[in-house]
Chains A and B, each alone.
Chain A
Amino acid sequence: MMELLQFSLCFMAFNCFALAKFNHFREVFKKKLTDKQRHSFLATGWITILLSLVLSVLSEGGYGALLFCGYMALSVLMLMILYSFTVSWVKHISILNLSILLLSCFSVMIF
């Protein structure tokens, strides 16, 4: 559960970094990216990625840092496939990821 939370945070972070780029934003939302939106995506991205790293290291130390590097690799791979082959799925996958994030967050806090 904890690992799922760490991963979904990392995935969300890279998704935000991707959407902070003009070409990717245009492909997904069919609109032009404004500066304000770009800054909010970047900020969200940095906050979530740092959160993912901190959670990984706090829960398992050096081992957690290694896991975090693995999460980064997996996130970038999945997002690369999404943005290059199935851009129409980005919205759905993002919502799915957000729900996984919230669910795992709750279950970690409760148990």
Chain B
Amino acid sequence: MKENFFRSMTWLHTWVGLLVCWLLFLIFFAGTISFFKDEITYWFEPETHTVTHQDNRLAKQRQQINYAVEQLQNKAADSSSWRIYLPEPRNPLYTYSYAEPKQPGQRRAKFTETYLDPTINEEIAPPRETKGGYFFYRLHFDLHYIDVRTARWLVCLASLFMLIALITGVVIHKRIFKDMFSFRKNKGSRSWLDAHNVSSVLALPFHIMITYTGLITLIFMVFPYPAQTVYEKGLQQMFNEASPIRARVESSDVPAPLVSMNTILDQVYTKSPDADIGFFFIRDANKESSRVSVYLNTGKEVVDNGAAFLFSGSTGELLAEQGKDWSASARFYDSMTALHAGRLASPLLRWLYFLCGIAGCAMIATGCIMWAKRLRERLKPQQQAGVGLKLVETLNLATLMGLPFATASFFIANRLLPLEMVARADKEILVFFLAWLAMTVLAIISSSKRQWQLAAWLNALVCFAVPLVNAMTTEGNWISYLLTQKWTLFCVDFGFIIAGSLFILQGKKLRTASKKVSTRRFQKPKDLKEQQG
């Protein structure tokens, strides 16, 4: 496009980055937070905080399944779908749920959940209605308040641009190894460039991996064509062949008693003696077409569709098995989803994923800010900012300061909204967006350094408010969590304390910077030119 390859790639890197940077920041921000979605959801449901992880978790699974099935038979023998989620390392809760009959016009049936304390096998009061960490998870690819398909196409386009930006970024960063540890501070847009380079390079394998694999998770929406070309019945036929466990079966009306779960579990444990069962689904229980699916936890394996079994619920025979003898191609595809979701990650790896995600957010943020600064620097002293520059600066402030503000507000709303409120989960999410809107209004009014300073103080305020409100509205606080070794809860509260401190630092730095600017305004233009020199 330009005179040489290098210049073309430089141009391309800037423009694909700029066109979608704010959406990308949202995706990376929400995605990074959702690495801890289970832990955040746990914080969001204080009613479950008495539930602790059990010892001998695996040994108790058989009995837990039998108990849950017994309860489901009593409560919802005619339900089309039963689900049992067993305790796992990241989530000590044990739940069973059943589908209520679908209302006309409903796309998916509503499920009624019962929560149990696994140590005593007794029901606990249902926790407050909330989406918790799952909000961030869904936000990062389904966005919100817009049609899901549209959202996913937008996210895919943004991710494609991100991948192009990464590749071109590597191509144009000639001094990638020479400058790896360089960071020149207090040098204006040079420092922002250094920050952009460092945050990109330090987690470069992660950035490329997460972007590529992210596209792969939605790839069948984007490119259904190979499947449609190869299979007569298209995508659905391919999915059924790839994952026979999930294949849909016509529901029959012939009643047939459900076999004892022990028959099924015996077969599972024979095939896999150390099986760690994650979920247990039963469809059309008490009918001839009933199906029992058993999904095992995959631990640290780099697989997404791990070992799973499909049994007939009326006869107990094994119908399909998954996870053995995957071909290289299937393993290649499957490992990509596994890498992206990071479900395999233990605490250490999970924190490293999180760190790399933060680096990704920093990379995008520094890119946005650097662009705005460059445009400002190119303005002549008397020239006013054009519409384009104003738009970029407003969007920068609204997105980069608005999202943390909205997040902290979301956490506070969880503690403060009345428990009996109708559609409580949706109202919590509304608070998130209203807070973001508030920050956007602030940004529209002005996006000067002083406004950034104000935004930093506001963010610090809400961040510190989170552990404070938590202490006031629940039985614990960050100190008690530390003393009783409730690490999940401690990390959430303490994380906000650290975030708040960083915002205070930012506010202070901006204050000294804006002081420099205001003294400059009183200097003569000649002195200014000398300084800019």
Question: Hey, what's the 0/1 contact readout for A5-33 against B, CB within 8 Å counting as 1?
Answer: 00000000000011001001000000000
Judge whether A74 and B178 touch: CB under 8 Å. no
B181 x A80 contact (CB < 8 A): yes
Determine the chain A residues whose CB is within 8 A of the CB of B206 once the complex forms.
Answer: 69-70, 73
Interface residues on A, range: 20 to 34
Q: Is the interface of A mostly helix, strand, loop or mixed?
A: helix
Chain A, 52-72, contact with B by CB distance < 8 Å: what is the 0/1 string? 000000001011001101111
Task: Answer yes or no: A76 CB below 8 A from chain B CBs.
Answer: yes
Do residues A72 and B181 form an inter-chain contact, with CB atoms below 8 A? no
Alpha-carbon distance A69/B353, docked complex (angstroms) = 10
Q: Are A79 and B181 in contact (CB under 8 A)?
A: yes
Closest Cβ of chain B to A29, distance in Å, is 16
Contact A63 B349 (CB under 8 A): yes
Please report the C-alpha to C-alpha distance between residue A85 and residue B183 in the assembled complex, in whole angstroms.
9
Considering the chains assembled together, what is the distance between the CA atoms of A63 and B180 in angstroms? 26
In the assembled complex, the Cα of A39 lies from the Cα of B355 at a distance in Å of 32
Least CB separation from B338: chain A residue: A62
> B264 interface residue, CB < 8 Å from A?
no
Per the CB 8 Å criterion, the residue count for chain B at the interface is 28
Tell me which residues across on chain B come within 8 A of A17, comparing CB atoms: 177, 180
Q: Closest CB-CB distance, B90 to chain A, in whole Å?
A: 16
Whether the Cβ atoms of B349 and A80 lie closer than 8 Å is no
A3 to B181, CA, bound (A): 24
Contact of A70 among B177, B182, B352 (CB under 8 A): B352
State whether A76 touches B185 (Cβ < 8 A): no
Does B198 make an interface contact (CB < 8 A)?
Answer: yes
Chain A residues, CB < 8 A from B184: 84
User: Is there contact, CB below 8 Å, between B185 and A84?
Assistant: yes
Closest Cβ of chain B: how far from A57's Cβ, in Å?
12
Note all chain B residues with C-beta closer than 8 A to A63.
Answer: 300-302, 344, 349
Residues on A with beta carbons closer than 8 Å to the beta carbon of B178: 21
Known interface pairs A72-B205, A76-B202. Does A18 touch B181 (Cβ–Cβ under 8 Å)?
yes
Q: Which residues of B contact A60 (CB under 8 A)?
A: 300
Residues of the B chain whose Cβ atoms lie less than 8 Å from the Cβ of A67: 348-349, 352
Q: Across the interface, name the chain A residue whose C-beta is closest to B194.
A: A84
Contacts known (A67-B352, A73-B355, A74-B355); A80 close to B202, Cβ less than 8 A: yes
A80 touches B344 (CB 8 A): no
Closest residue of A by beta carbon distance from B201: A76
Is residue B356 contacting chain A, with contact meaning CB distance below 8 A? Answer: yes
Of A62, A72, A80, the residue contacting B198 (CB under 8 A) is A80
Residue of B nearest to A70 (CB): B352
Among candidates A3, A62, A71, A77, residue contacting B359 with C-beta atoms closer than 8 Å:
A77
Q: Are B302 and A73 in contact (CB under 8 A)?
A: no
Q: How far is B359's CA from A63's CA once the two chains are assembled, in angstroms?
A: 21
The contact sample of 10 A-B pairs, CB cut-off 8 A, is A17-B180, A63-B344, A66-B302, A67-B349, A76-B180, A77-B355, A83-B181, A83-B183, A84-B182, A84-B184
A63-B300, A73-B355, A84-B184 are known; give 7 further A-B pairs, CB within 8 A: A17-B177, A63-B301, A70-B353, A70-B356, A76-B180, A80-B180, A84-B183
In order of increasing CB-CB distance, the 5 nearest A-B pairs are: A70-B352, A84-B183, A76-B202, A62-B302, A73-B203
